Structure 1
């Protein structure tokens, strides 16, 4: 027997939890169940562990220099203006804040061009956006992680019915009599691929194939792609845009080339953002706020099952 005082690591080891969980349990921080708190505190009492007063205040956020628990929204997007020009991200933050409510948990936003390596001091939870599969798997081993959209096997995700939304857009164009259809699709991400698959399935085997170009969910690339489509087929009478930002660029290209929207060329977007409403754009609405809220709720309580695919609905406006 020694005179060495028991440490937090000793408490965590005996209680069978991580050091971070032991700290949360002892300090009453958010993120541990009542059963875990009781077990850890019982072990601490049995071992005679006494947390340092200053360290305890810092851990619980009661000191000015204390660190609050945080949820990080990690966005992979090469566009430096992404957070200001893409309504999607603002809607994500709205939903995330709604889920956090009045909990003493900070929400941090981090936009990166390429995904950094996972760190050894992860936040309480991470919400991954546009993170490719292999990278998502690496992050999943460093704390609580939920992706918006499919990422890697084993990584929990929340996503809308992208395939169904693409299908709705295509059916609408067929039913309204459009014969020469073009599309500006998105980047090689699961959500963009699902929208593409749902859209093209309607035209599978059709005599008139879809004239398609690849975009990347940015305005500049979408504008170039729309001009390419119109050069390849000047008689297009409809264009599907894989997101509303893309649709804004398509509308500009049509105006500049003298096409009348809806009369000459119908346009359908995807997102159902404020952009669609302002531009009188037919668009597939996806409940982004609900998607983000469900993801954060899963971060806060991993025992809560991830929700099924959230439904999408086509809102018809003047552009089609």
Structure 2
């Protein structure tokens, strides 16, 4: 005899929600609004759906495995040392944990060199970092997703005013009389492209030529790029590095070639991390912790209004 008992999928279909949302509504776990919870439970009662006790225990975290809802921070970065060498990621985790507070939701961090082939056990929500636009859109179709930085159209994101920050860095160098300016930009990502655009727009308006080298937000590449810039233009009197980690490589190259910071060459970074403060580096501060907290708040409550761009500001220190 065929078992005709209604399934959770049946309840989700009739209620017009995803299977995961139906499960959360029935089991009373975090992430379902009161309206959705009432609708799903009404449909379940109408269909005569009764959750299996073992499945219910798993869904609510009362099984032996101690399962909890979780938010995954998915980071695409080929650098195996990225979590320890790039302060940005630590600041993201600080902001995410601040937003979660004492909620019974786990924060799971996954760094991958390339995106995984499949979704596997999908989390309650995902915070995407450095995920290409098309892949970000695919994740967004499968569940709650917020990107840090502009992604594909239709994918919610939180980002600082990168363009404005690049503008501030360039204006500072122009206004302090620097004439022969170099720049170590970042990889071809939206945030790096925005910083570059803001910087170059000011330089074009001031008729300042810029010696450009491409970086990848690592110290090693920025060091090599700065050596290339100095070899091609020995009289450089300023360098903009599009992140603080890159600025550390630039400072190393300047020291090794006998240039004095900032008497001979001014240096400005971007991030405003603890590295900048420790190195007395002028840097454009971006509120990473606030970005991450805002992203998590939107994962918890998608009904919140879309976040705007968060402001950046240049902090001038001894390097410029």
What is the TM-score of this pair, normalised by structure 1? 0.96
The answer to whether residue 277 in structure 2 is matched with residue 277 in structure 1 is yes
> 2:226 aligns to what?
226
Deviation at 1:235, TM superposition (A): 0.6
Runs of 5+ consecutive residues of structure 1 not aligned to the other structure: none
8 A Cα contact 2:183 2:211, kept in partner: yes
Q: Deviations over 1:188-242 (max 9, x none)?
A: 0010011011011111154540111000001111100010011011111110000
Secondary structure of the structure 2 residue equivalent to 1:141: helix
> 2:244 aligns to what?
244
Q: How many residues align?
A: 320
1:6-85 counterparts in 2 under 5 A? 6-85=6-85
8 A Cα contact 1:180 1:238, kept in partner: yes
Q: How far apart, CA to CA, are the structure 2 residues paired with 1:287 and 1:198? A: 18
> 1:183 aligns to what?
183
Compare 198-207 and 174-183 and name the one that shifted more.
Answer: 198-207
1:1-320 counterparts in 2 under 5 A? 4-119=4-119, 121-204=121-204, 206-320=206-320
Q: How far apart, CA to CA, are the structure 1 residues paired with 2:6 and 2:135? A: 38
Q: How far apart, CA to CA, are the structure 1 residues paired with 2:318 and 2:100? A: 37
RMSD: 1.6
8 A Cα contact 1:77 1:111, kept in partner: yes
Q: Deviations over 1:239-293 (max 9, x none)?
A: 0000000001111100000111011111000000000000000000000000011
8 A Cα contact 1:118 1:139, kept in partner: no
Q: Deviations over 1:6-64 (max 9, x none)?
A: 32223223322222111111110011111111121222223332222222111101222
8 A Cα contact 2:174 2:206, kept in partner: no
Compare 172-181 and 135-144 and name the one that shifted more.
Answer: 135-144
8 A Cα contact 1:71 1:123, kept in partner: yes
What is the TM-score of this pair, normalised by structure 2? 0.96
Deviation at 1:296, TM superposition (A): 1.1
Q: Deviations over 1:126-175 (max 9, x none)?
A: 11111111221222211111111111111111100000000000111111
Compare 148-157 and 134-143 and name the one that shifted more.
Answer: 134-143
Compare 310-319 and 8-17 and name the one that shifted more.
Answer: 8-17
Runs of 5+ consecutive residues of structure 2 not aligned to the other structure: none
Q: How far apart, CA to CA, are the structure 1 residues paired with 2:12 and 2:207? A: 66
